Amino acid sequence: MVDCPGDRIAWIAEDDEGWIRLRREAELIATLAAAGCRVPRVIGVDEAARLQVRSRLPGVSGYAIESLVFGKSDRLTPAARYQHNSPLTEAGRVLARDLGAEIAALHRAPVEAARALGLRGTRYLTTLDRIDRRLARSAGLRDLRAALPRMRDWFAALPDDPVIALGDIQMENMGVDAATGALFGVFDFDEAAVAHRLEDFKYLPSFGITFTRVTLEAYSAAGGPPLGLDDVGRFHLLSALEHFTFVDDASLRWTGIIEWSHAALDRFLV
């Protein structure tokens, strides 16, 4: 990836496999844009050089969005985020409403197009198997592992509801107006898959329960089916536990993932 003048980003594939991936992403971007999603545009292609140029979404990303949502620069603990009255600024409310409408547009995109592109499907019981194997290796994580049978029962009973899901809608992958909270769009298509529609809500409780409720209301108002906060919470817990499968226990993130997982377990698996 190369930053270019004029709010552009150039992607250069190192090999044929990478170029196939970039071309597939370009087709996915076109599919999502046709459904009304606010995503980057592909504005230039050089087949011989295996080069693709995309527009850059304006706005802020990352922790600046958390500050915008909560109205404070210091990090909230997971437990504070999961309070029923978690803080939410007016700009955060604007973002939540915009994000709900954006996810509704995303889920209107034809899932058949994703399958034609060869996007992978998501198997939640397989994910739980991987989590179980990883937690079994750490005696200090036995209490988290003890929750997996209940998680397995819930996911086994979950009706199919496949959509095109980006699977990684979080603060690093959106552009937001720093003054108003308006959403400019979402990006990063590495995790795009055919998955349950709840997949695209799994990180939102990190913005707080209040934020998540407003997003769900906006999603329904924009044509999405009603979704329950507790169901979103179980996907949120799954995402926390899944981090144990790819984050090394020597990482500085490890203790944070343990705290996140325990707080999500206490809040959403009762």
The whole-number pLDDT of residue 74 equals 87
Please state, in angstroms and rounded to a whole number, the distance separating the CA atoms of residues 213 and 88: 11
Fold that domain 63-268 belongs to in CATH = Aminoglycoside 3'-phosphotransferase; Chain: A, domain 2 (3.90.1200)
pLDDT at residue 73 tops 90: no
pLDDT at residue 127 tops 90: yes
- Answer whether 263's CB lies under 8 Å from 79's CB: yes
pLDDT at residue 197 tops 90: yes
Residue extents of the structural domains in the chain? 2-55, 63-268
Burial (CB < 10 A; 0-12, 13-18, 19+), residue 95, is buried
Residues 208-233 have a mean pLDDT of 98
DSSP 244: G
- Answer whether 69's CB lies under 8 Å from 208's CB: yes
pLDDT, averaged across the chain = 96
pTM of the model: 0.95
The whole-number pLDDT of residue 270 equals 72
